[in-house]
Amino acid sequence: MAFAITQTCCNDATCVSVCPVNCIHPTPEERAFGSTEMLYIDPKTCIDCGACTDACPVDAVFPVDSLPVDQREYADINAAYFERAGEEAPEADDLGPNFHAWSEPTFERVLPSDFGPLRVAIVGTGPAGMYAAEDLLLHTRADVTLIDRLPVAGGLVRHGVAPDHPATKRVGDAFARFHTHPRVRLHLGLEVGGDITAEELAAHHDAVIYAVGAATDRRLGIPGEERTGNVSATSVVAWYNGHPEVAPDAVALSAERVVVIGNGNVALDVARILVSDPETLAGTTIAPHALAELRRSKVREVVLLGRGDPEHAAYTRSELLALRHVPGVDLIVDDHDPRVGTTIDAAGPKEKAALLRGVARQPVDWSLPPGAAERRRIVFRFLSAPLEICGDEDIRGVRVTGADGEVEISAGMALRAIGYRGVPPAGLPFDDAAGTVPHEGGRVTGRAGTYVVGWIKRGPSGGIGANRACAAETVGTLLADVVAGVLPAPTGHPKSFHRLARRRRRH
Please report, as ranges, the residues that interact with ligand NAP according to CB under 6 A.
Answer: 220, 261-267, 269, 306-308, 314, 316, 319, 385-386, 417-420, 460-463
Report in angstroms how near the CB of residue 174 gets to ligand NAP at its nearest. Answer: 17
For residue 397, the minimal CB distance to ligand NAP (Å) is: 16
Bridge pairing between strands 376-381 and 301-305 = parallel
CB of 126 to ligand NAP, least distance (A): 12
Name residue 421's beta-bridge partners: 216
Q: Are 356 and 380 in contact (CB under 8 A)?
A: yes
Nearer residue to ligand NAP within complex by CB, 124 or 419: 419
C-alpha dist (Å) from residue 52 to 2, 56, 94, 281: 11, 6, 21, 29
| Alpha carbon separation from 350 to 81, 84, 259, 381, 507 (Å, rounded) | 9, 12, 29, 22, 52
Q: Which is nearer to ligand NAP, 308 or 424 (CB)?
A: 308
Smallest gap from Cβ 496 to ligand NAP, in A, equals 39
Find the shortest distance in angstroms from Cβ 305 to ligand NAP.
Answer: 7
Beta carbon of residue 111, minimum distance to ligand NAP (angstroms, whole number): 31
Residue whose CB is less far from ligand NAP, 384 or 450: 384
For ligand NAP, which is the closer residue by CB, 75 or 214? 214
Q: How far is the CB of 141 from ligand NAP (least distance, A)?
A: 34
In the bound complex, what is the minimum distance in angstroms from residue 73's beta carbon to ligand NAP?
17
3-state secondary structure at position 471: helix
Backbone angles phi, psi at 431, to 5 degrees: -95, 105
Q: Residue 290 in 3-state DSSP?
A: helix
Residue 273 or 428: which CB sits closer to ligand NAP? 273
CB 369 to ligand NAP: min, Å:
24
Q: What angle do CA 415, 419, 420 make, to 5 degrees?
A: 110
Contact 244, 155 (CB under 8 A): no
Pick between residue 166 and residue 490 the one whose CB is nearest to ligand NAP: 166
Non-local (6+) Cβ contacts of 311 within 8 A are 343, 347, 351, 352, 353
Is residue 89 packed enough to be buried (19+ CB in 10 Å), middle (13-18) or exposed (0-12)?
Answer: middle
Q: Which C-beta is closer to ligand NAP: that of 40 or that of 99?
A: 40
When the beta carbons of 56 and 196 are compared against ligand NAP, the nearer one is 56
Q: What single DSSP character describes residue 410? A: E
Determine contact, residues 209/451, Cβ cutoff 8 Å: yes
DSSP 359-401: SEEE---TTS-----SSEEEEEE-S--EEEEEESSBEEEEEE-
In the complex with ligand NAP, the residue whose CB is nearer, 314 or 411, is 314
Q: Work out how close the CB of 56 gets to ligand NAP at its nearest, in angstroms, rounded to a whole number.
A: 15
- Nearer to ligand NAP among residue 62 and residue 420 (C-beta): 420
Residue number with the smallest Cβ distance to ligand NAP: 264
Residue in 425, 393, 430, 398 with CA at minimum distance from that of residue 220: 398
Determine the distance from the C-alpha atom of residue 191 to the mean position of all C-alpha atoms in its chain, rounded to a whole number. Answer: 23
Q: How far is CA 200 from CA 58, 387, 452, in A?
A: 37, 46, 18
Provide the 10 A C-beta neighbour count for residue 226.
8
